[in-house]
Amino acid sequence: MKLSELVDYLNHIDEFELGQIHQEARHRLDAVIHKIANHNVQFNKFTQGIIANGNKINESFQQFNHTIDAIRSHVIDAMTAQHPEYLRESLRLFQHEMCYDTTEHILNRRLRCDPESAELLQGRILRYTDWRVPGLIFRPALEQHVEQLVPLDPLYMIDNNLELLEPACQGFTEEYRRRLRLYTAEEILGKPILALLPDAQFGYCFAYNYFNYKPLELICQYLDELWKKLRPGGVVFFTYNDCDRAHGVALAERSYMCYTPGSLIQEHAETLGFELMHRHNGPADVAWFEFQKPGEIDSLRGGQTLARIVANSK
């Protein structure tokens, strides 16, 4: 059985809020029993039977929950048995196939984003665009999100080569382009990726449709390094292929994205010290995390050096 099928089964089980169903049913039954047991008209032999049957129903509910828990545990064991193979395949895909993706292919590789997620995404971005702190965006590509990030001062842009950054830069005036900080990153597991970037400087790091194509090991390495690059109170926001959902696992099985369960990413981030600010799972391809480094954003700036930069309202 494919892992995506097992995860789909688990997703369906987790949709049911059995504790709440049990509580609501028990509350309604208790109300019925209370009215019958305390009414002026009494038939004791039936009343006692209703109370006993109510207790049996409660015991049956508990046994039902135990059975569901046993099924869930069995499914998780079956998933865990396939987990290492999927991680290995994801790493192989990244190291031996994705490395040959052309610039055109990368730039035209888009996420399907539903309207509700797109609206929420824009609102969440604007929460963190503070001119008092530098910002970092990974692979702005052909997306419009970079336009909401221009208030961050200065704005750093990073990708695997400068050719991938050029389309995003073309949308700015020559004056603003000179203010951008462009960097490239060589991604080799175990070797520093962001060594050229300043430590403890960034207030916001944003990566949309970037980590979706990175294996779990590399995402964890990025989080290790971003922890050092963020100042206290800084936030890292990134989309990823959430393989805690069947849809994400199916994308990995088709070698379209990497196998990256969100639960494992969150576990690593929180081990580093990050605090989860928000987690979103849309109905299409878009899932993201927002992690914050503990502390308060601090800046000595009293104003921007040249002029205030704002996002284009169009």
The pLDDT assigned to 273 comes to: 97
In terms of CATH architecture, what is 105-292? 3-Layer(aba) Sandwich (3.40)
Q: What is the mean pLDDT of the chain?
A: 90
- Alpha-carbon gap, residue 179 to 115, rounded angstroms: 33
Distance CA 140, CA 241 (A): 18
What are the angstrom distances between the C-alpha of 144 and each of 107, 118, 139, 297, 311? 13, 11, 11, 26, 10
**pLDDT exceeds cutoff 80 at 78:** yes
pLDDT score recorded for residue 19: 73
> Rounded to whole angstroms, how far apart are CA atoms 273 and 237?
15
The distance between the two most distant Cα atoms of the chain, rounded to a whole number of Å, is 90
- Segment 50-61 mean pLDDT: 81
Lowest-pLDDT range of 51-65, 114-128, 231-245, 291-305: 291-305
pLDDT at residue 65, as a whole number: 86
Q: How far is CA 241 from the centre of its chain?
A: 8
Q: Average of pLDDT values for 292-305?
A: 72
* pLDDT for position 271: 98
Q: Band of the pLDDT at 299, cuts 50, 70, 90?
A: low
CB 153 within 8 A of CB 134: yes
Residue 134's pLDDT is 94
- Helix, strand, or coil here: 44? helix
**Which of 13-17, 54-58, 300-304 is least confident?**
300-304
Q: Does the structure show a pLDDT above 70 at 196?
A: yes
pLDDT band for position 300 (50/70/90)?
low
Q: Tell me: the pLDDT tens digits for 119-171?
A: 999 999 998 888 889 999 999 999 989 988 998 989 999 999 999 999 999 88
- With tokens 């930069």, the residue in question is 309
The neighbour count for residue 56, using CB atoms within 10 Å, is 10
- Any residues with CB less than 8 A from the CB of 303 and at least 6 apart, and which? none
Q: If you ran DSSP here, which 8-state letter would residue 242 be given? A: B
Separation CA 148–CA 143 (nearest Å):
11
Mean pLDDT of all residues in 31-47: 75
Residue 41 has pLDDT above 90, yes or no: no
For residue 155, CA distances in Å to 28, 41, 152, 229, 251 come to 58, 78, 6, 14, 32
Comparing C-alpha atoms, which of 302, 151, 138, 113 is closest to residue 218? 138
Bridge partners, residue 281, by sequence = 287
Q: Looking at residue 45, what is its pLDDT?
A: 67
What is the pTM (predicted TM-score) of this model?
Answer: 0.84
Q: Is 16 helix (H, G, I), strand (E, B) or coil?
A: coil
Query: How confident is the model over 228-250, as a mean pLDDT?
Result: 97
Check pLDDT > 80 for residue 49.
Answer: no
Average pLDDT rounded to a whole number, residues 56-61: 84
pLDDT score at 304? 54
State the number of CA atoms in the 13 A half-sphere of 14 facing the CB. 13
Report the C-alpha gap between 119 and 117 in whole angstroms. Answer: 5
**Tokens standing for residue 15:** 């949709």
Write phi, then psi, for 175 (nearest 5 degrees): -65, -45
Q: What is the pLDDT of residue 47?
A: 72
pLDDT at 312: 55
Q: What's the rounded Cα separation, in Å, for the pair 260 and 215? A: 7
Instruction: Reduce the DSSP state of residue 302 to 3 states and report it.
Output: coil
